[in-house]
Amino acid sequence: MVRDWRWGLLGGVVLVAGVRAATAAPLGDAPAATEQERGKAFLSLAFEEKKMRREAAKDFPADLWSQDDAFHNAEYKRAKAVAGEKGIRVPDVLLAVDEGLHGRWPRPEDVTLNPSVPPCRPRPIH
């Protein structure tokens, strides 16, 4: 008898979860970024690249691949923040970075970007 009410409880929870999932409103998606918005997003991330790379180098002083990995993690977090600030989609911000690097979009002279990736090697023993 005890066993039967547990199955009933489990079935009720699954039913409620199913109904909730089926009737939930979809998440709203931000509009696609215009070319001008993508250009501003690119510049926003480009201006911060040197600082983000410096921070990543502090965390992994002897491991270039891990530095690059840490940089891209910081870059993604910054891209999410920029997308939220500008009300555009995160993929559009990341696409702007890619287009800016490969399309060689204009940028201030004091901004240098690194489009290369260091090879993955075993980590040095500290």
CB 55 within 8 A of CB 68: no
> pLDDT by residue (tens digit) across 31-83?
889 999 999 999 999 999 999 999 999 988 888 889 999 999 999 999 999 99
- As given in the structure block, the two tokens for residue 80 are 């999410």
Q: Does 120 or 14 have the greater pLDDT score?
A: 14
CA 125 – CA 62 distance, rounded (Å):
9
Average pLDDT over residues 94-99: 93
pLDDT of residue 102: 85
DSSP 78-111: HHHHHHHHHT--HHHHHHHHHHHHHTT----TT-
Domain extent listing, the chain: 31-102
Q: Residues 72-95: what's their mean pLDDT?
A: 94
Per-residue confidence (pLDDT) for residue 27, from 0 to 100 = 65
Phi then psi dihedrals of residue 108, to 5 deg: -60, 150
